[in-house]
Homo-oligomer: A and B are copies of this chain.
């Protein structure tokens, strides 16, 4: 019992930390509660991680590794773009259900009490997916699969916005409740949700070549043939 903690014990501490931070947020999380839930004394957390701040960052990074693996696995398979997107969405939904704490902790990271980590963590967390998605949609655009009327980075941004909200919707209480208000029972059917979001995204990728002529436009990336449909219906 008085030997250095092994990998598994440290992992258990990190898991307990993730659960606690996800449950309360950074500041209200209690180090003593983490220690108790992990079956160790507070002392070891300070010996191994320094202080609460460093422990928090360790928890974030630990959860990042696992999320990364999920993402990579889901994105790895080949196949048509549509199928890949749908697979990614479904994987994220399922991962959010089964590892709710991980996603809930992400939500906590974005909160005000983590303000001083905002820059660092945003860069650490988002730059990977940002680059990945930007490349994906850049290639799609070159292959003529993504409308020329939206820059690939912006498309990647909207895409990730939808994915993040979907993850929160399956792992944080507030967002769960919100999804139920919006979708009713439709929220319960993972396959349906993934299917509809895929359709939504594919529609957005194809773009609407008509009916935007009247809008304020700022340097449209490319002009397109005129619209062949009735122009608009005011509602």
Q: Is the CB of B126 within 8 A of A154?
A: no
Contact of A151 among B23, B111, B196, B231 (CB under 8 A): B196
Interface positions, chain A 144-201, Cβ under 8 Å from B, are 144-145, 147, 149-151, 153-158, 160-162, 164-166, 168-169, 172-179, 181-184, 186, 189, 191-193, 195-201
CB proximity of A27 to chain B, nearest CB, Å: 4
What is the size, in residues, of chain A's interface with B at 8 Å between Cβ atoms?
102
The closest CB in chain B to the CB of A191 belongs to B218
The closest CB in chain B to the CB of A86 belongs to B215
A13-44 CB contact bits vs B (8 Å, 1 = yes)? 00000000111110110000000000000000
CB proximity of A42 to chain B, nearest CB, Å: 20
> Copies of this chain, how many?
2
CB proximity of A194 to chain B, nearest CB, Å: 8
Q: Is the CB of B218 within 8 A of A195?
A: yes
Q: Which residues of B contact A130 (CB under 8 A)?
A: 178, 181-182
Q: Which residues of B contact A169 (CB under 8 A)?
A: 161
Q: Is the CB of A233 within 8 A of B80?
A: yes
A186 to B195, CA, bound (A): 30
Specify which of A28, A113, A134 lies most central, judged by the most chain B CB atoms within 10 Å of its CB.
Answer: A113
Q: Is the CB of B182 within 8 A of A235?
A: no
